[in-house]
Amino acid sequence: MTQFPKGFLWGGATAANQYEGAWQADGKGESTADHLLGGTFETPRRFVEDATQPGYFPSHDASDGYHHTEEDIKLMAGMGFKLYRLSIAWTRIFPNGDEKEPNRAGLDYYRHVFELCHQYGIEPLVTISHYEMPYHLTKAYGGWGNRKVIDFYVNYATTLFKEFSGLVKYWLTFNEINIGFMLGGYMSLGLPTPDGSSPLLGEQNDAAIQAALQGLHHQFVASAKAVQIGHAIDPNNLIGCMIAGQVTYPLTASPEDVLLAQQTNELNNFYCGDVQVRGAYPDFAKRYWTKHHVVLDIDETDAETLAAGKVDFYTFSYYSSSAETADQSKRESTGNMSFGVKNPYLKYSEWGWSTDPSGLRWYLNEVNSRYQIPMMVVENGLGAVDEKTADGKIYDDYRIDYLKQHLAAMSDALADGVNLIGYTTWGWIDIVSAGTGQMAKRYGFVYVDRNDDQQGDYARTPKKSYYWYKDVIANNGSDLDPDVRY
């Protein structure tokens, strides 16, 4: 097994709308996430206009991280974290998104978080926008479909770079920027959504594709501008992109299946990656635009902006893989927020996600060959139902096994020559699922006493995996089978 490099950045991740709660505390405004009801694997989440009506809105309370800051950072430190990936809630800083001056209480909250992290030797990795743009920007401007939103985002990002210079050096401009295109535009792009529709089931007609790609173009320009501003404010800033890593295999050796899988991988992974890493749209984008009658409104200065705003490193999420086939009779859904068709060689979770550590190695090698810049895996984990034993413990060996397989795949990728510098699990503590809005779909090393029926006091309990990951970090990944005492 290849040794992980010295100084490797071990850690875990959360997102503000899935973790913090306190949705109206200290001047925070309403985000798009605050208007999403909870769902299940069988029942998709729904958007509602009135976020104060009765019902379960997962982001409103989430894991109550806002009120457990000191305790939670101490728990991270107890595992030996080197890196904590978190997002800033845009509406804590600019409640409506279009204000000129920020909300000081929001800035003070995150300053406290970052200072605590540094006390424990933990570097923050901050996502500027993670599925929760100000709802006002959707309502009043049409979300990222409106070019004016670029300026609002740039003002927001500039405020963060100035305020937290010296406290944060690792930044990500957008979370899983390709998701808005793949799954529909509300959650990622803030595009207006009809009342009662699912934010994850976007229509794949030409009009919807046009709207999503136009909004995505505006995000690309905003990201590129933020990269340039971040570098100018503090030359020590390192600013990355974040892609939802999608590995798609051909279902058979049929040439049609092989070609379809290649095109799917290109579109899902490299349409966005090329723009943010290489600074220009890939050649195959034009083929796709022509096929779907897409005509983007691109400003004459946009090409120059994209070329000047290339990111410093590449990050991505990886959970599972899928397959593709041109044979429509073999197509079936693989589950919530997953893509393609089922692969008969893989096992699937109750949420329809496959376990495929080899896919992670494949993806790392593909990205390394294409871009040749430092990489981090910033989301990877297993969502499962965890149950406490009579003595109050959680023996999540299934989670340990999943993570161990993926760490071994990362070690193999390092031997392949991949420039991998960090890894943050998703999520390091139980948080609500973005896909279903459930607490029951748990990912964390730490159990949070809160359920989908909104019962529980938010008490934190380390699981067996907490102590396993602590040992792995301590030995820098050289032993993935430590003798865990729990």
Lowest mean pLDDT among 1-5, 226-230, 322-326: 1-5
CB-CB contact of 175 with 127 (8 Å): yes
Q: Quote the mean pLDDT of the chain.
A: 94
Which residues, at least 6 apart from 107, have a Cβ–Cβ distance to it below 8 Å?
A: 93, 159, 163
* Residue 201, pLDDT score: 62
Taking the model in full, what pTM does it have? 0.96
Q: Which domain holds residue 272?
A: 9-474
Q: How confident is the model at residue 203 (pLDDT cuts 50, 70, 90)?
A: low
- Runs of H (alpha helix) within 164-300: 179-183, 186-189, 206-233, 255-265, 271-273, 283-291
How would you classify the pairing of strands 238-244 and 123-129? Answer: unpaired
- Within-domain flag for 298: yes
Q: What pLDDT shows up at residue 202?
A: 61
- Cα separation, 381 vs 420, in Å, equals 18
**Both tokens assigned to 345:** 């060689």
Nearest partner of 316 among 394, 374, 384, judged by Cα: 374
- The answer as to whether 484 is a domain residue is no
Domain presence at residue 365? yes
Specify the number of domains making up the chain.
1
**How far from 225 is each of 133, 150, 191, 250, 311, CA to CA, in Å?**
18, 9, 21, 38, 11
Asked if residue 39 is part of any domain, the answer here is yes
| Mean pLDDT on 29-37 | 96
What is the pLDDT, as a whole number, of residue 44?
Answer: 83
pLDDT at position 228: 98
Q: What's residue 353's pLDDT?
A: 86
Q: Could you tell me the pLDDT band of residue 208, with boundaries at 50, 70 and 90?
A: confident
* Mean pLDDT value of segment 24-30: 98
- Among all residues, which ones are annotated catalytic? 176, 379
Q: Give the percent of the chain with pLDDT over 70.
A: 96
Token pair belonging to 330:
């073999």
Query: Would residue 332 be called left, alpha or beta, if left means φ above 0 and alpha means ψ between -120 and 50 degrees?
Result: beta
Helix (H, G, I), strand (E, B) or coil at 324: strand
- Determine the 3-state secondary structure of 32 from DSSP: helix
Q: How far apart are CA 128 and CA 150, in angstroms?
A: 13
Q: Is a pLDDT exceeding 60 seen at residue 333? A: no
CB atoms within 10 A of CB 294: 18
Is residue 79 scored above 80 in pLDDT? Answer: yes
- Highest mean predicted confidence (pLDDT) among 2-6, 117-121, 320-324: 117-121
Range in 43-52, 76-85, 396-405 with the lowest mean pLDDT: 43-52
Task: Please give the Cα distance from 398 to 386 (Å, whole number).
Answer: 10
Strands (E) in 262-414, as ranges, are 313-317, 321-324, 375-379
Q: Is residue 249 in some structural domain?
A: yes
- One-letter amino acid for residue 482 of the chain: P
Residue 151 lies in a domain: yes
Per residue in 350-373, pLDDT (tens digit) is 888 899 999 999 999 999 999 999
Would 479 be classed as within a structural domain?
no
The CATH number given to whatever domain includes residue 233 is 3.20.20.80
Residue 465 has pLDDT above 70, yes or no: yes
pLDDT over 80 (residue 441): yes
Of 397, 261, 376, give the one whose Cα is nearest residue 323.
261
Asked if residue 452 lies in contact with residue 435, where contact means CB atoms within 8 angstroms, the answer is: no
Q: What is the pLDDT at residue 184?
A: 67
**SS3 breakdown of the chain: % helix, strand, coil, rounded to 5?**
40, 15, 45
Lowest pLDDT segment from 37-41, 73-77, 187-191, 201-205: 201-205
pLDDT tens digits, one per residue of 108-152: 999 999 999 999 999 999 999 999 999 999 999 999 999 999 999
Q: Classify the phi-psi angles of 340: left when phi > 0, otherwise alpha if psi is within -120 to 50, otherwise beta.
A: left
Q: Which distant-in-sequence residues (6+ apart) come within 8 Å of 253 by Cβ? A: none
Residues 6+ apart with CB under 8 A from 442: 383, 384, 385, 386, 430
Copy the structure tokens of residue 165: 């210079």
Residue 338 binned pLDDT confidence (cut-offs 50, 70, 90):
low
Residue at 391 is within a domain: yes
Q: What is the mean pLDDT of residues 60-89?
A: 98
The residue with tokens 């694997």 is 41
